[in-house]
Amino acid sequence: MKYLLTIWIWLSCVLGVWAISPKSDFPVFWSAKEKYVALRDVAAVYGMSISKPAAQRITLQDRTQTIVFKTDGREVLYGGNLIWLHAPVSFVRGRWAMREVDLRVVLDPLHRPERYLKSVRHRVIVLDPGHGGQDTGAKGKRGVEEKRVALDLARRLRAHLVNAGYKVYLTRENDRFIELDERCRKAARWGADLFLSIHLNSAGSEAAAGVETYALAAAGYESTSGGLSNLTQPGNRYESANGVLAYQIQRALTQRLGAADRGVKRSRFLVLKNAPCPAVLIECAFVSNAREEAQLLDDAHREVMAQAIARGTLNYLNLAKRAQSEAP
Ligand SMILES: [Zn+2]
C-alpha cells in the first residue's frame, strides 16, 4: 500500500497531475511587488492545451472553450468575446503571465462561475435608466436623446424580466433627474440582488460604434480607458459576480445585434462602486454614430436590444441558480 502511494506521489509530480485537479489553487509568483500566474499554469489547472506565442497571441483550448490572450496587451477573447484585463499579459521571469488579480477577479469567475456565484441572490432586479430631466445625456445629430432611449429600454427590459418571474424596479419611471447616489440608495431600499444601469455612448469620432459593458475595477487599478480613478478605492465584494454578469450581457447583446464588440471593461462609475449588489453599466450603442442612431430610432431594434439584455441577465441568473443547486 505504502509502495503504491509512493508511486502515485511520484507520478503526480512527474506528470503534473496535481495541477489539473479542479481543487488546486493556481501557483502564484512575485515580480516587482506584483503577483502573477503563468499562463501555462492556468492551462494546466483548466486542463486546456496552450499554444506557443504566435502573431502576438497565446491560445488556451479544450473541447468546449477557447481563450485567446494578447501578449503585452490587456485584451482576451473568451469564447470569442472581448474582455479587458486590468494589466497586460507580460513576459515575466521567463514565462508569459497574467496578474493574479486578473485571474481571480476577471478570468476564473467566467471559466468556473460555479465557484463564485454560490451566494448570489436572485429575486429582485433594479434597472437604472441613465440621466433624466435636465440631464439629457448624449445626443445624436438626428435628435436621439440618451435619457429617452435608456428609459424606453428599461421599460421593455422590465417586461421581459417580469415575465421570467423576477421582481423588477426602475430607479426612475419618467423623465426626471435623479442623483447617482440616490439611484444606489433606492436599490438598497428595494433589496436589489442585481443592478443594471442603462446608457448610450458618444464619441468625438463618428466612426466609433458598438457595445461595451462595464464592471467595477479592482482596487489599485485604473479604469480600462484610463483616468478617472482613485486607485486606492477598493473594489467591492461582488467583483467576481460583476464580471460574469457583464460578460453574459455583453455576449448576448453583441451576438444578437451583430454590433461591434468593444468588450467588457472596468471602471469606477459611482453607481458601480456604491451598488448594494452585483452591478454593471451597459453602453448599448453610440448616438454619435449615424448608423446606430438610425437604429435607435427604430422601435423594433430597441425591442431586440431589450430582449438581448434580458437574455444575458437570465443567463447569469441561471448560472447562479446552477451554482447553488450544485453547492455541497
Ligand atoms: Zn450616460
Q: Residues 176-209: pLDDT tens digits?
A: 999 999 999 999 999 999 999 999 999 999 999 9
| pLDDT reported for residue 235 | 64
CA 38 to ligand 1 center in whole angstroms: 38
- Cα–Cα distance between 28 and 37 in angstroms, integer? 5
CA 224 to ligand 1 center in whole angstroms: 17
- Cα–Cα distance between 243 and 270 in angstroms, integer? 17
Q: What is the pTM of this model?
A: 0.91
Instruction: Check for a shared fold between 13-111 and 124-325.
Output: no
- The pLDDT-based confidence of 19 (bands split at 50, 70, 90) is very low
**pLDDT at residue 227 is higher than 80:** no
Tally of CA atoms within 13 A in the half-sphere of 215 that contains its CB: 30
CA 272 to ligand 1 center in whole angstroms: 13
Give backbone dihedrals phi and psi of 70, rounded to 5 degrees, phi first: -95, 125
- The pLDDT-based confidence of 24 (bands split at 50, 70, 90) is very low
CA 213 to ligand 1 center in whole angstroms: 12
CA 90 to ligand 1 center in whole angstroms: 34
CA 36 to ligand 1 center in whole angstroms: 35
Q: Which three cell numbers stand for residue 45?
A: 489547472
CA 86 to ligand 1 center in whole angstroms: 23
> Would you report the helix, strand and coil content of the chain in percent, each value rounded to 5?
40, 25, 35
**pLDDT at residue 9 is higher than 60:** no
CA 46 to ligand 1 center in whole angstroms: 38
Residues ≥6 apart with Cβ < 8 Å to 291: 209
Please, are residues 133 and 176 in contact by the beta-carbon 8 Å criterion?
Answer: yes
CA 144 to ligand 1 center in whole angstroms: 13
Query: Which CATH number does the domain 13-111 belong to among 3.30.457.10, 3.40.190.10, 3.40.50.620, 3.90.850.10?
Result: 3.30.457.10
| pLDDT reported for residue 237 | 80
- Closest by CA to 99, choosing from 32, 22, 24, 20, is 32
Provide the angle, in degrees to the nearest 10, between the axes of the packed helices 299-325 and 146-163. 50
CA 131 to ligand 1 center in whole angstroms: 6
- The pLDDT-based confidence of 230 (bands split at 50, 70, 90) is low
Please, are residues 99 and 140 in contact by the beta-carbon 8 Å criterion?
Answer: no
Query: Domain ranges in the chain?
Result: 13-111, 124-325
| Residue 76, beta-bridge partner list | 69, 83
| pLDDT reported for residue 220 | 82
- Closest by CA to 281, choosing from 137, 101, 75, 122, is 137
**pLDDT at residue 104 is higher than 50:** yes
CA 199 to ligand 1 center in whole angstroms: 4
With 0-12 CB in 10 A as exposed, 13-18 as middle and 19+ as buried, what is 254? buried
**pLDDT at residue 151 is higher than 60:** yes
CA 171 to ligand 1 center in whole angstroms: 14
Taking the domain 124-325, which CATH number applies? 3.40.630.40
Kindly state the helix (H) or strand (E) to which residue 167 belongs, with its residue range. Answer: strand 167-170
